[in-house]
Chains A and B, each alone.
Chain A
Amino acid sequence: AQSVAQPEDQVNVAEGNPLTVKCTYSVSGNPYLFWYVQYPNRGLQFLLKYITGDNLVKGSYGFEAEFNKSQTSFHLKKPSALVSDSALYFCAVREGGDSNYQLIWGAGTKLIIKP
């Protein structure tokens, strides 16, 4: 069965430092991976996705994610954190060949950037 894990409920980073939000997945076929961000009282905003090709995917707001097939991970990264990056981050996966097309969501990671 497909699954996504975000092992950290919360990540605290000082402003200006690099940040990483972790995501691991489990699928049988090829994974299609997505990252979303949610600001308070707002809907989810799409950040980036991995479909195929280059393992380093660049997205919105300076975020990037690295696909690692051997470690089944898709960690979200940013070289220099901003206070405005504080939000809830969700990782999601679809499995190639899955006729249900359903996105499987992680539980979310709260990112807190301290000034």
Chain B
Amino acid sequence: KAGVTQTPRYLIKTRGQQVTLSCSPISGHRSVSWYQQTPGQGLQFLFEYFSETQRNKGNFPGRFSGRQFSNSRSEMNVSTLELGDSALYLCASSPGLALTDTQYFGPGTRLTVL
């Protein structure tokens, strides 16, 4: 099976702009989670979607939003970008909601805000 894919891989934006990142999960996986990774804050959970419904949300401002489509593909959007939003954004998919499910990660999208 193909792995988790994320597009684009690299993105450069300026402050105040908005950005949309895309994630295609492993075929058959219905759960998608998003993380922000920065050198200072480590790996921080953004949100998780299952069957087009947001199930969990991390402690991020409302500028960060996401959605999941019927084919399980997911997008996240960041509006009014700030310099501090520069980070590696990681998407992970898992089969479902079992506690024993493994999350499989994509390569990430490197976002730079100037």
Q: Are B4 and A43 within 8 A (Cβ)?
A: yes
Q: Are B105 and A44 within 8 A (Cβ)?
A: yes
Interface size, B (range): 20 to 34
Q: Chain A contacts of B106 at CB under 8 A?
A: 43
Q: Chain A contacts of B99 at CB under 8 A?
A: 32, 94-96, 98, 101
- Give B8-51 as 1s and 0s: 1 = Cβ < 8 Å from A's Cβ atoms: 00000000000000000000000001000000001101001000
Q: Are B43 and A100 within 8 A (Cβ)?
A: no
Q: Are A32 and B90 within 8 A (Cβ)?
A: no
Q: Are A46 and B42 within 8 A (Cβ)?
A: no
Q: Are A101 and B97 within 8 A (Cβ)?
A: yes
Q: How far is the CB of B55 from chain A (nearest CB, A)?
A: 7
Q: Chain B contacts of A43 at CB under 8 A?
A: 4, 6, 90, 105-108
- Give B71-112 as 1s and 0s: 1 = Cβ < 8 Å from A's Cβ atoms: 000000000000000000010100001111011111110100
Q: How far is the CB of A33 from chain B (nearest CB, A)?
A: 11
Q: How far is the CB of B6 from chain A (nearest CB, A)?
A: 8
Residue B56 is within 8 A (CB to CB) of chain A in the complex: yes
Q: Chain A contacts of B90 at CB under 8 A?
A: 43-44
- Give A80-101 as 1s and 0s: 1 = Cβ < 8 Å from B's Cβ atoms: 0000000000100011101011
Q: Which of A42, A49, A105 contacts B108 (CB 8 A)?
A: A42
